Structure 1
Amino acid sequence: MNPLIDQLFDLSHSLAAPLLQRVNHPWEALPQLAAYLQELAKNLPADFEEIAPQVWVGKGTYIEKTALINGPAIIGRNCEIRHAAYFRSNVLLGDEVVVGNSTELKNVILFDKVQVPHFNYAGDSILGYKAHLGAGAILANFKSTGDEIHVYLDGKKTGTGLNKFGSLIGDHVEVGCNSVLFPGTIVERNVVIYPLCPVRGYIQSGSTLKNDGQVYPRS
């Protein structure tokens, strides 16, 4: 197991576990997601149904008629896909996920019970168990210069080999309304990010990022 994955995610809460277990770094799973969805679709449980070409949905999931879902996409059980949600392709959702009004997803893995409920964008990103984005929170995935996106691991700048990569959001992370996470941001478990924050770099577990740009221990 990659230690970074251990610090971020409980893999028992995602069908992406086999994919994440075979890569060296979690962002390396994202270019492989389209092929993995095709592989996974061949062995889905019997309570999944293909409701449109390359769109598979688990039992109990409700999808508003106004949602637009482009496959490949696998949506878990008992999810809620609300008005005007937009799936641009290569989307893997766990169980009991909420994708809300005018939220756009592209090349993402959302673990069980993730909520992206209001005017959110998540591109080329992974969100862990029970992660929640406040209204208008954005996971940016592309630099204005278009060059390679780097991450910070152990204080060192590390290349990802990708020019499109959003964020890695750990389990139980709360992102405040209208915050923007810059490309390559990594947030460990149990972090709270205040509303209206610009977020970059590496945020350690159990922290609070406040509007002054400082990171504090959670009380």
Structure 2
Amino acid sequence: MQKYAVVLAAGKGTRMKSKLYKVLHPVAGEAMVQHVIDSVKNAGVETVVTVVGHGAEKVKETIGHASQFVHQEEQLGTAHAVKTAKDILGNKKGTTIVVCGDTPLISDETIHALLTFHESENTVATVLSAKVNDPFGYGRIIRGNDGQVSGIVEQKDATAEQAEVNEISSGIFAFDNQKLFETLEKVNNDNAQGEYYLPDVIRILKEEDEKVSAYITDDVDGIMGVNDRVQLAKAEQKMKERINLQHMINGVTIVDPATTYIGKHVVIGEDTVIEPGTSINGKTIIGKNVTIGMNSDIKNSTIKDDATIKQSVITDSVVGEFSTVGPFAQLRPGSELGKETKIGNFVETKKAVLKDGAKVSHLSYIGDAEVGARTNIGCGSITVNYDGVNKFRTIIGDDAFIGCNSNLVAPVEVGDGAFIAAGSTITDDVPDESLALGRARQTTKEGYYKTK
């Protein structure tokens, strides 16, 4: 059976008190609505339609090709929002799930379970529900004497007896697609807010003697909506706990999960150790037996087996096997380290390739450069890559030695086995196995201090 999804993402979210539209607020480094769409697609939904309104262009830009889009010009309620998808989904056969774009913790396992239950029960509508200790503020699932769902009652409309019910509606539904769009035409806005509400579809279906069910999920956190900054912080915490738990189950040591932030797309190998205060985000891949030291920040990078990162920032870069980085180093985008390389304290690299065994131990800037195997670059050395208008490249061969405080003014090439004397400024190419000096001769004036 074909599966579809309507993601409701048109609201501005005034309680967030932000210029950023609600569904675009990040949780674990990714927009809330993106988490929802990822879960929906991972659950096997083929076609996703996202209802946009406020900030439509920004939402489309964030989601990209993962969804089709419809625009809700006026926010007239959830039923009205779903109805805007009629031109895309109205005539299709199958099951449609309706989910809010501000529920970032909804998992693909929960969605899959909802869809499976809905189809196995041969029901026209299924509400995703949960049993909670404090149901205040939620719509209650009302069941008849036969245990079947008879309706959903909102908090403000509940009788004293109904208010005691602890089974709540998540606001997430599965429908027979054609029945959904047929029934949406019958929903009216005869209520205090003058809006068209999706739960009214459930009421109408029951009045028409259609079968309506509720699937009770154990994942209460997963159905949590985010409407303000307090709930956003709670969602961040829950997502962090979920991600960290999965990595630990998979064989990763996280010394202090409470202070470790890992994005949901990060892959980490067995026996890797993550120390406190670390943030790992984006499409980062970390190998086995890696040590990530305290307060490191890694994004969209690959750290290969047995590498060690100490209190450093790494972005869009590659660190080879058995290599060490830091402490207090920064690998900017385009840095690529081979095996057994060393980037020491207060070293910065950018668009730099360091081949196997190369070393830049401390206080250097290596930008737009290629550094050969086993080459050693001394303290305070700089590849001078920028003339104020253009960037130029420095190429250093294998087994070279670059003395401390050397400036290599690009474009320049230093050959294999070449030796650059400390304190030199090199502006011309240096042949293989040559010594180059580029500094003024020392002048010493004895007794100068006394004459002053």
TM bin (shorter chain): 0.5 to 0.7
Bigger relative CO (Cα 8 Å, ≥ 6 apart): 1
Residue 393 of structure 2 is matched in structure 1 by 166
- Give identity over the alignment, percent: 26
Partner residue in 2 for 1:102: 346
* Distance in structure 2 (CA, Å) of the matches to 1:53 and 1:181: 29
Q: Any idea what the Cα deviations from partners look like across 1:189-217, whole Å, max 9, x if unmatched?
A: 0001110000012110010113558xxxx
CA distance in 2, matches of 1:211, 1:69: 33
CA contact (8 A) 2:425 2:439 kept: no
Cα offset for 1:166? 3.3
**Candidates 410, 434, 440, aligned match of 1:183:** 410
1:180 is displaced (CA, Å) by 0.5
Structure 1 unpaired stretches of 5+: 1-45, 147-162, 214-219
Which residue does the alignment assign to 2:368?
124
Aligned counterparts, 1:13-24, within 5 A: none
- Provide the C-alpha distance between the structure 2 equivalents of 1:172 and 1:200, rounded to a whole number of angstroms: 20
State the alpha-carbon separation in 2 of the partners of residues 210 and 69 from structure 1: 34
SS at match of 1:202: coil
The CA deviation at 1:69 is 0.6
* 1:111-150 map, 5 Å: 111-144=355-388, 146=389
Q: How does 1:73-88 map to 2 (within 5 A)?
A: 73-88=317-332
Paired residue type of 1:204: P
1:87 Cα deviation after fit:
1.1
How far is 1:185 from its partner? 1.1
Of 193, 207, 214, the match for 2:434: 207
CA RMSD in angstroms, aligned pairs only: 2.2
Shift in CA distance, 54/209, structure 1 to aligned 2, threshold 3 Å: same
Q: How many corresponding residue pairs?
A: 150
User: After TM superposition, where is structure 1 displaced by more than 6 Å over at least 4 residues in a row?
Assistant: 46-49
Deviations 1:62-90 (A, max 9, x none): 101x20111x2111000011111001111
Q: Give the structure with the higher percent strand.
A: 1
- Structure-1 separation of matches of 2:383 and 2:411: 9
User: Hey, which of these two has a bigger chunk of helix by percent?
Assistant: 2
Q: Distance in 2 between matches of 1:84 and 1:100?
A: 8
2:285 maps to what in 1?
50
The alignment status of 1:62 with 2:297, answered yes or no, reads: no
TM-score by length of 1: 0.64
Mapped contact 1:132–1:174 kept (Cα < 8 A): yes
- 1:99 to partner: Cα distance: 0.3
Partner residue in 2 for 1:92? 336
Given residue 308 of structure 2, which amino acid in structure 1 is its aligned partner?
Y
Q: Structure 2: where are the runs of 5+ without partners?
A: 1-268, 273-283, 287-297, 441-452
